[in-house]
Amino acid sequence: MSVWRRTQRKEQQEAAWQVKHGATLVGTLFLLEVDQPWFRCRFEPSGEWDSVSPLFEAQEEARAMNFPEDMVWSIAAVRDLNLELHPVDGGENIRPVMICIGMEQSSFRY
């Protein structure tokens, strides 16, 4: 896909959810597709992303290694953040059962 086409596609996407840790905005999710039960998204971090990103990096490393026993803590650590997804266009907030946030692709289920 050409750079122009990727840029055009990115600009056409509308923000779907704000990712919040308590009252703190950590980023925004842009819906790419739904592959039940997963919602696949593009993530744009806010300035507060650095406060939680190490946990997501550990979770991604664990996933890439097929979740070895000594790294399963990362899944619980992300879950224990109690992140909420606030719909940009209004509606009920979502508490994801599982959320994976990466710079290439992000996904969640609830």
Those residues whose C-beta lies under 8 Å from the C-beta of residue 29, and which sit 6 or more positions away, are: 15, 16, 17, 18, 19, 41, 42, 43, 85, 106, 108
- 39 forms beta bridges with 34, 108
Boundaries of every domain in the chain: 14-109
**Per residue of the chain (110 residues), what is the pLDDT tens digit?**
433 334 345 555 789 999 999 999 999 999 999 999 999 999 999 999 999 999 999 999 999 999 999 999 999 999 999 999 999 999 999 999 999 999 888 999 99
Q: What share of the chain is helix, strand, coil (3-state, %, to 5)?
A: 30, 35, 35
